[in-house]
Chain A
Amino acid sequence: MGTEVYIAGVGVISAIGNDVAEHLDSFEQEIAGMGDITQLETIHRQKLPVAEVKLTNEQLVKMTGLPAHVSRTALLSLVAAKEALADAAIPAMEQWRTGFISANTVSGMDKTEGFFVPFLADDNKGRLRYVFDHECGSMTEIVADELGITDVITTISTACSSSANAIAYGARLIRNGQIDIAVAGGTDALSKFTLNGFNTLMILDKEYCRPFDEHRAGLNMGEGAGYLVLISEKVAAVLGKAPYCKLAGYTNSNDAFHQTASSPDGTGSYLAMTGALQKSGLDASDIDYINLHGTGTPNNDSSEGTAISRIFGPLYPPMSSTKSYTGHTLGASGGIEAVFSVLSIKHGIIYPNLRFETPMADLPLIPQTKFLKGQKIDHVMSNSFGFGGNCTSLIFSRT
């Protein structure tokens, strides 16, 4: 049905860089973004490593021109979305119908948490404007206003598959002729709620995370934002340059197993990957690189690994978890890793899975551990699996 969906621009900010160029540099030099907590006010400082964006809120406010009370989630979003649009450089953009499909899970919660400190001490205290942007849609609206996008504005929040679903939804709007351009992806800032919540679930590694390693002990929280500019064939025809690649397939599925855990046999991830392959008309053997969900939790990696072995075994494509660099950026991860997947095709890059030493005992999976470039990469699969069993796989293909 409908038009092909091409990727015209990419933008990203995370713990390993404030733009695409800085990310490519960090990847090549194998510099991970984790470290002691410096931005977030929390009792976990010096105890839990996180992957923070290396900019203060003040610096982000200065960069974006947004008011000082705006949530870090929106600040990160605007930086990456602006980069993606500038990169796409679509001529006479106002003649097209454009959507902003942005995912997040924490929204303005960073500010709400600040509000509650004085408010709980004295309910006459606390500035209500810090609660105003608590709900997820607020972030999208703030950024859409800055970008001047008015045709379709919507927010998707499906835990850690959120921004992969935003990209799939943006593509569907284009394929169905509802819009011509979609800025799609997601954003999430660190917050006390998410850090404490994941800590409660006992799935945070006190060391730097070790995705797909037998001795993995959990994830590291991260933050950031990543967006793609998706365009229709008509827009591609006047782009004035070749698009990066196309979005060849996408599928969202659900495990229906547990609130926070994936099923042991990876039912949801199996359905997402096989569905995306089917939609793209590709065989498993066509995939040249898998950007894993690979959080580093015992549960995710064995579940995802089991599903991968069912689909790809015994001949596995190169695979890695870039969360070994960026930490787990929750609602932003699907967008950030979609950017990495597009860049993988563009530059022939296979990203290293840092700190991998010992394969999982019962799975024959060895992730890529060294940075490779100049590889021939035509098809990349990007996995994003979330709480609630919400699983999404995207496939990007060279055009």
Chain B
Amino acid sequence: MANKIIFENQQDKRINLADQNYITASCKIENGLVEKDGRNLFTHAGDVGSLLLAAYQHFRLSYPKFHKMDRLSKLGWLATEVLLMDSFEQGKYEPEDISVILANASSSLDDDLKYYDSVAEAASPSLFVYTLPNIVIGEICIRNHFKGEQAFFIQGNFQSEFIQQQAAYLLANNCTKCCVCGWVDILGEEYKCVLFLVEKIKKGNAALFSAVNMDEIFNSTAK
């Protein structure tokens, strides 16, 4: 009985994960800096909460729901705004063709702890609805009308090879034509967000979408 079922993928064409995809934009928020494509766009000296608000104001963003989000969602949402700003021709893609793959180490713990503290007084519904890490993906997708594949992974540290494989698989299978992927992590005053816009077309001096290039961007310091 057990061997009677053959799913398509197992008998089908081999998947070439080495198909060429490119990092057509990147955004990093770390150490009070907001960078796009390796260039520093904004610096702020305050704590992470004030950084997020100051950056929101600096980039003249207007999205009232931002103020209701937990800090993980604010961080990922803000980085996506900067990532897509001026460099993304969304009209080229169907909503179903744009995917989001994110990972972090702290899950939604930053908000979970605040929710836990709120329970002593009165459990807060607005904190409760953010006690899942993948809500940040929902906020990004609702904002940008992305309707493609989505996944959120919790890993001890940024695993470029893993994220690259996940995205490359979707791109190679035509499950997606464009992917926002990367790392968004926050717990207390420790935070880091690095996002990559990955497309099948080479633009300007876009880097090849490889684990090595992802690591280089992830670990680089702003010029």
What is A's interface to B at a CB cutoff of 8 Å? 94, 97, 150-152, 178-179, 196-197, 199-202, 254, 256-260, 388
Contact = CB atoms under 8 A, between A and B. Distances in A.
Contacts of A151: 1-2, 4-5
Interface string B3-42: 0110100000000000000000000000000000000000
A339 to B, nearest CB: 27
B142 A256 contact: yes
Most chain B CB within 10 A, of A150, A196, A197, A200, is at A200
A97 B128 contact: no
B2 A200 contact: no
A212 to B, nearest CB: 23
A256 B147 contact: yes
Contacts of A202: 125
8 contacts: A150-B2, A151-B2, A152-B5, A197-B128, A200-B125, A256-B147, A258-B129, A259-B130
Q: Chain A contact residues: over half helix, strand or loop, or mixed?
A: loop
Contacts of B145: 256
B105 to A, nearest CB: 20
A150 B2 CA distance: 7
A38 B5 CA distance: 45
A145 to B, nearest CB: 14
Nearest to A97: B4
B206 interface: no
Contacts of A388: 138
Given A199-B123, A256-B142, A256-B147, A97 B129 contact: no
B142 A257 contact: yes
B115 to A, nearest CB: 8
Contacts of A179: 5
B135 interface: yes
Contacts of A178: 5, 7
B128 A201 contact: yes
B123 A200 contact: yes
Give the 3 A-B residue pairs with the shortest CB-CB distance, closest first: A200-B123, A259-B129, A200-B128
Given A97-B1, A150-B1, A151-B2, A256 B141 contact: yes
Contacts of A254: 147
Interface of B: 1-2, 4-5, 7, 123-125, 128-130, 132, 135, 138, 141-142, 145, 147
A260 B129 contact: yes
Contacts of A258: 129
B123 A196 contact: yes
Give the one of A94, A257, A259 with max B CB within 10 A. Answer: A259
Nearest to B135: A259
B193 to A, nearest CB: 20
Contacts of B130: 259
A94 B7 CA distance: 21
B120 to A, nearest CB: 13
A178 to B, nearest CB: 6
Nearest to B138: A259
Contacts of A152: 5
Contacts of B142: 256-257
A15 B147 CA distance: 38
B82 to A, nearest CB: 22
A178 B7 CA distance: 8
A376 B145 CA distance: 43
A201 B2 contact: no
A383 B112 CA distance: 32
A200 B124 contact: yes
Contacts of B125: 200-202
A388 to B, nearest CB: 7
Q: Give the one of B130, B135, B142, B147 with max A CB within 10 A.
A: B142
A97 B5 contact: yes
Nearest to A178: B5
A388 B142 CA distance: 11
A97 B7 CA distance: 14
B19 to A, nearest CB: 28
User: Which of A94, A178, A179, A254 gathers most chain B CB within 10 Å?
Assistant: A178
Contacts of A256: 138, 141-142, 145, 147
B65 to A, nearest CB: 9
Given A199-B123, A258-B129, 11 more contacts: A151-B1, A151-B4, A197-B128, A200-B123, A201-B128, A201-B129, A257-B142, A259-B130, A259-B132, A259-B135, A388-B138
Nearest to A177: B5
Nearest to B141: A256
A55 B154 CA distance: 38
A260 B124 CA distance: 14
A197 B124 CA distance: 10
B142 to A, nearest CB: 5
Contacts of B2: 150-151
A259 B1 CA distance: 41
A174 to B, nearest CB: 12
Nearest to B122: A200
